[in-house]
A and B are shown apart, each in its own frame.
Chain A
Amino acid sequence: MSLSYPLQVVNLLAALLLLISFAMLSQRRVVGLITLFAWQGAALAASTAIIAWSTGQHHLYYSAALTLILKVIAMPWFFYRIVRQLDVNREVESMLNIPTTMLIGIVLVIFSFNLALPISQMAGTVMRSTLGIAMACVLLAFLMMITRRKAITQVIGFLAMENGLFFAATSATYGMPLVVELGVALDVLVGVFVLGIFFFQIRESFESLDLKHMEKLREK
């Protein structure tokens, strides 16, 4: 089966998304993580735009533009600023060592391809095969959230998870209805804003963004 040219580019970008997810798992520095997050957003925006162009789904142009503005420009800029102001760009302390994390990551990818298989067979979209990749991105971001200790890396993990979900929506159904997508984008924006305030509060009280100080509340 030969694939059309735009579709090949989309598949390439999907592979890139997965690669970036793995790179994020192995990245040790916060600034490097933010750069990778920006690249992931860029790959997502590009693939959404290409899908919009090749299938004539015009509303996807808006989502691509939203992704570009929010996740490639606004949020990375905001995070860079926070990192500079709070001076947290030291090595990221991971709870598991990196090779182990990577191995777990590979298992997750296999699992998500298996999970996505029955669904993607039902999908009527041209890039249904990328659904597995989208799910893998979600799970890898989830893994990053679990294994990292710093508040800011957890948030980047959360946003990377959102990227994966967004990609899943695009590849399974050409995206959600526009009003829902706008709502989700608004929520994410407000969420990041709230977190910005929050980082400063945490920093003020603990003089660090390391979450190991935040383990007082648990069942005795």
Chain B
Amino acid sequence: MEIYWVLGIPLAGGIFLALWGNRGHAPEINALFSLATLLAAAALAARIVAEGPLLVGQGWFFIDSFNVFLVALTALVAFTTALFSRPYMRIEKEHGKLTDARLRLYHSSYQVFIGMMLLALTTNNMGILWVSMEGATLATVLLVSLYRTPASLEAAWKYFILCGVGIALALFGTILLYFAAEKVLGSGGTALLWTQLNGVKAQLEPTVLQLAFVFLLVGYGTKVGLVPLHSWLPDAHAEGPTPVSAVLSGLLLNVALYAVMRSKVLVDGALGTDMAGNLMMGFGLLSVVVAAFLIKRQTDVKRMFAYSSIEHMGLITFAFGMGGAVASFAGLLHMTMHSLTKSAIFFAVGHATQKAGTQLMDDIRGLIQTNPTLGWGLMLGTIAILGVPPFGVFASEFLIITTAMHAHPWATPFLLIALGVAFASIFGKVQPMVFGETELPKLPYQPALTPVFLHLGLVLMLGLFIPPYLATWYRQAAALLGG
């Protein structure tokens, strides 16, 4: 039953906010709908932890430890982002960057976007997974171009066309998957159900599945932002409003990677080789290395952190590609850490750029003087994402690298060099932003930084101590991924 609430609330929220328009309190209503979604997701998670995997709605929805953890994460970050966007968007409007009509579009699309991601996570049908991934893109295209500046329009266009082509390739992969499945399961609606496919995966035609996986990986990989399919990502993150950057980076990339992982489990079963894992490791490693060196050249703060997202998604893809219990566990942990930390950073960066009136790092200086909380928020977030202990990112990166040392020693130097370069460039650029000299006056208002410290607090806690039930949960999820 909870599942219908999880999916129904955001979609109802989207319709309600579109009708409600600018009658006042729209940001609060947006946050309330997100809170309701979070409560429903928490109830769902509690039920899965207590009762194990769940198949509901005549097999249309399937929830196990792997996706329920992503459902909970998505609902949590969606709620905190809604909290952050309330004051942030109000100030943007006061600056004359947004109108009432655009805020209406923003609130309504935001809820639809969250709803589509939750549908993608919970559906059992590989076809519906495709449909909702595309729906999530469509819901955000107009959000990326919300400011209607030439650069934001260009970014949104690139986002639409590149992800459109990517997702079309994924559709071809899905068709091939159905083609292989139909032989075993017979035609009709059930042949694309993941649970059914998982049951017969050893009988699926290997050559077809091999080709299908290549298309699915390239298709959904475009959305994950894997190099060389990443070029939409920095633009969309830099030009869209900051709350949108936070949910794109913290959530959409995860959901796309989830789609790849669901396909990988099937392909591994059919092939019995490491083909899928090797491909993912290749794409992942390339993304880590290329993104790390591109970070060095960035001048725009949101673009820089967008490249950092590519780097981390590459690392997670690499971990899942290695497979095995420890690597999958580390991948899942890193997914959580990255979502929480990166959205916290975007919240802090949002306030900093709003204050400075620019996204160029050279023009943002001395945050610690204008607002100490904001300065420390950005600094701690940066330290956390760079993998400094005791934050949780350190734990997951450490696990990934030690596993790589055992299983694939050749990859370790690349990973270490890339992480080192990323560390030096990001730290070197953020440090003067926070501690440099500035002439700007103190911030006239108190920024909404509760979400930042909430996220960072969670990351710190998970770095020091993972509660046993959470660890069991991750372990179960890792086992599902073929650990």
Contact = CB atoms under 8 A, between A and B. Distances in A.
A201 B168 contact: no
Contacts of A176: 127, 174-175, 178, 192
Given A172-B175, A201-B145, A216 B165 contact: no
A184 B154 contact: no
Interface in A173-215: 173-174, 176-180, 183-184, 186-187, 190-191, 194-195, 197-198, 201-202, 204-206, 211, 213-215
Interface stretch (A30-38, A89-97, A160-168): A160-168
A191 B182 CA distance: 29
Contact of A217 (B127, B134, B158, B211): B158
B172 A165 contact: yes
Interface stretch (A3-11, A42-50, A118-126): A118-126
Contact of B135 (A187, A202, A204, A216): A187
A179 B175 contact: no
Interface in B123-177: 125, 127-128, 130-131, 134-135, 138, 141-142, 145, 148-151, 153-158, 160-161, 164-165, 168, 171-172, 174-176
Contact of A180 (B131, B160, B297): B131
Contacts of B235: 217
Contact of B128 (A161, A179, A219): A179
Contact of A179 (B125, B171, B208): B125
Q: How large is the interface on B (under 10, 10 to 19, 20 to 34, 35 or more residues)?
A: 35 or more
Contacts of B142: 194, 197-198
Interface stretch (B183-191, B272-280, B317-325, B339-347): B183-191
Contact of A177 (B127, B165, B168): B127
B361 interface: no
Nearest to B133: A187
Given A172-B175, A184-B131, A198-B142, A211 B189 contact: no
A144 to B, nearest CB: 12
B157 A211 contact: yes
A220 B299 CA distance: 10
Contacts of B207: 118-119
A151 interface: yes
A211 B162 CA distance: 14
B145 A198 contact: yes
